[in-house]
Structure 1
Amino acid sequence: MVRRREKLPEVGWLVIGTVDKVFEYGAYLRLDEYNNMPAFLPWSELSSKWVRNIRDIVKEGQKVVVKVIRVDRRKGHVDVSLKRVSEGERRRKILEWKRAQKADKILEIVAKKIGKTIDDAYNEVGWKLEEVYGEIYKGFEEAVVKGAEVLKKAGVPDEWIEPLLNELKKHIEVKKIKIQYVLSVRSLSGDGVHRVKKLLCELYPEEEDKEIKVRIYTAGPPRYILEVVSTNFKKAEALTNSLLKRAERLAKKLNVEFAYQRVK
């Protein structure tokens, strides 16, 4: 079951609720992320439009995204609103919820394999990843790309690392983006072949980055393909632009004709 570290949500937070009981004056929900804590959804917070029948909006058993509008910490009471949630907020929260469900399931599987409880899983792994990466699932994605170092950085105990990485590879496939440029590189000098090779070699990054792979291959001289593959679009764009600018500078020094065009 998906859980949150906090015992109570804060005012303004988006939460997932399951409609428990519907009355003429409102509805009671169970907050899925907070151990099924009850919350009240007043009639006035159902919709910005006039509603004839409350059941036209919510029904028992329905899951809804609501916004917290009041919290009584002493009594443990929470009031929520449905009408104050925009469509964009609703979509983002549902995506966050689905990712949290996947993370919870992975933690449960690994915990059973190493003889731990789900509480152990959250205390020793989940909350530590959330603290460093903002979200447990985000930490999992980082671990799939970068390996054990991500888990160690967050303080995950060694006994979890190998079985967790093995399980993550079964469940998480991080999407990669590909940037391609067609390069035109030629030289009329006597040692032109050497100059072209030197320029192409300089297109490779000076430092290795596990998140980014750079490949250069021929499409039939003088045309070559520069291919940059990464899980991080911004980093890939920045690196590609940097490599092309460096190649332009070197082309002038080597007296090599250099041009490039992005593949759409």
Structure 2
Amino acid sequence: MDLDEVRPGEHIVCKIDKIYPYGVTVTLEEYPGLAGFVPLSQIANRWIKNIRNFVRPGQIKVGVVLSINRERKQIDVSFSRMNTINERKKMISWRETKRSQQLLSVLAKDMKKEQDEIWNDLVPKILEKYNSVTEAFKVMLEFGKDGVKEIPEQYREALYKVVSRSMTITKKEIIENVELRITTGAGLIEIKKLFKEMPENKGVEQKISYLGGGKYQLKFVSNGYKTIEKHIKNVNDYLIAKVGKNGDLNIKRRE
């Protein structure tokens, strides 16, 4: 990596290398081959009696680039100027980037291609729409191999297999309580038929429970809220159209 790629003020992930009484040397995890130095005065926002009470070899921390001395090839970094919120955001972003790189490495191996070729073919296109590669992978996991149109078609099936076996998404659920009464014909039979013919979505699990007194619970479960919301709209439109003037319908979402 070149020093020109590093910018003053940038938040960077550092790994503690050597500890001295006057500061610590660090490796820059996002810039292979580059190292930095954190002066004692930039370790913490309070008086330091023993520097080893604040850092330890191998520890991962987020710092702010203070200055870059290109003649000496030295990057000065501060830990004390990094607040907790920004540190957490940076760590999450860094871990997601590492994970994405690992998955693309697996994809390259599966497709017998060079990793740089995979990266150049996929990442620029993905980042035109998504904030991160991981975000695009999550969308693909939710909507299937064709869920991310920015990914060239020749990669979709193989990438979807890699993502599916390597990533998981916490299931989301939405519950609606439905009060339903049919005033024409054989009411109960009509209600059973109504629910039996209710729209389905292969990406959404749905369960209907009878609560008694003309009340029903509809539970919808999927990988993402957008998928559920779209399906619920179809279900509610269907119920409203079918019940119409033939009965009473009240739909409430459970908070």
1:187 touches 1:257 (CA, 8 Å); kept in 2?
Answer: yes
Structure-2 residue corresponding to 1:147:
144
Question: Helix, strand or coil: the match of 2:30?
Answer: helix
When the two chains are superposed, the root-mean-square deviation of aligned CA atoms in Å is 3.7
1:176 touches 1:230 (CA, 8 Å); kept in 2?
Answer: yes
Deviation of 1:53 after TM superposition, in Å, equals 2.1
Unmatched 5+ residue regions in structure 2? none
Deviation of 1:141 after TM superposition, in Å, equals 1.6
1:188 aligns with 2:183: yes
1:62 and 1:117 map into 2 onto residues whose CA distance is: 32
Deviation of 1:127 after TM superposition, in Å, equals 4.0
Question: Helix, strand or coil: the match of 1:164?
Answer: helix
Match of 1:229 among 212, 215, 221: 221
Structure-2 residue corresponding to 1:215:
206
User: Relative to structure 1, is the Cα distance of residues 145 and 73 closer, same or farther in structure 2, using a 3 angstrom cutoff?
Assistant: farther
Identity of aligned residues (%): 24
Q: Deviations over 1:23-54 (max 9, x none)?
A: 33322211111114112222222111111122
1:154 and 1:228 map into 2 onto residues whose CA distance is: 29
Q: Deviations over 1:5-40 (max 9, x none)?
A: x96244443221112232333222111111141122
User: Relative to structure 1, is the Cα distance of residues 173 and 77 closer, same or farther in structure 2, using a 3 angstrom cutoff?
Assistant: same
Structure-2 residue corresponding to 1:156:
152
1:135 and 1:74 map into 2 onto residues whose CA distance is: 34
Structure-2 residue corresponding to 1:59:
56
2:97 touches 2:134 (CA, 8 Å); kept in 1?
Answer: yes
2:244 and 2:160 map into 1 onto residues whose CA distance is: 47
Question: Helix, strand or coil: the match of 2:18?
Answer: strand
1:248 and 1:149 map into 2 onto residues whose CA distance is: 30
2:42 and 2:137 map into 1 onto residues whose CA distance is: 37
Structure-2 residue corresponding to 1:107:
104
Structure-1 residue corresponding to 2:165:
170
Question: Helix, strand or coil: the match of 2:137?
Answer: helix
User: Relative to structure 1, is the Cα distance of residues 144 and 175 closer, same or farther in structure 2, using a 3 angstrom cutoff?
Assistant: same
Deviation of 1:238 after TM superposition, in Å, equals 7.9
User: Relative to structure 1, is the Cα distance of residues 74 and 226 closer, same or farther in structure 2, using a 3 angstrom cutoff?
Assistant: farther
User: Relative to structure 1, is the Cα distance of residues 247 and 169 closer, same or farther in structure 2, using a 3 angstrom cutoff?
Assistant: closer
Question: Helix, strand or coil: the match of 2:208?
Answer: strand
Question: Helix, strand or coil: the match of 1:134?
Answer: coil
User: Relative to structure 1, is the Cα distance of residues 12 and 190 closer, same or farther in structure 2, using a 3 angstrom cutoff?
Assistant: same
Structure-1 residue corresponding to 2:21:
24
Deviation of 1:185 after TM superposition, in Å, equals 0.3
1:150 and 1:73 map into 2 onto residues whose CA distance is: 45
Unmatched 5+ residue regions in structure 1? none
2:69 and 2:127 map into 1 onto residues whose CA distance is: 26
User: Relative to structure 1, is the Cα distance of residues 242 and 74 closer, same or farther in structure 2, using a 3 angstrom cutoff?
Assistant: farther
- Comparing 46-55 and 16-25, the one that deviates more: 16-25
> TM-score, length-normalised on structure 1?
0.75
- Comparing 50-59 and 225-234, the one that deviates more: 225-234
2:230 and 2:80 map into 1 onto residues whose CA distance is: 41
2:182 touches 2:243 (CA, 8 Å); kept in 1?
Answer: no
- Comparing 44-53 and 76-85, the one that deviates more: 76-85
Corresponding pairs, count: 253
User: Relative to structure 1, is the Cα distance of residues 31 and 131 closer, same or farther in structure 2, using a 3 angstrom cutoff?
Assistant: farther
1:38 aligns with 2:29: no
2:226 and 2:151 map into 1 onto residues whose CA distance is: 28
2:4 and 2:131 map into 1 onto residues whose CA distance is: 18
1:216 touches 1:224 (CA, 8 Å); kept in 2?
Answer: no
Give 1:60's aligned amino acid: P
User: Relative to structure 1, is the Cα distance of residues 193 and 154 closer, same or farther in structure 2, using a 3 angstrom cutoff?
Assistant: same
Deviation of 1:133 after TM superposition, in Å, equals 1.6
User: Relative to structure 1, is the Cα distance of residues 66 and 185 closer, same or farther in structure 2, using a 3 angstrom cutoff?
Assistant: same
Give 1:184's aligned amino acid: E
Deviation of 1:142 after TM superposition, in Å, equals 1.6
2:18 and 2:104 map into 1 onto residues whose CA distance is: 32
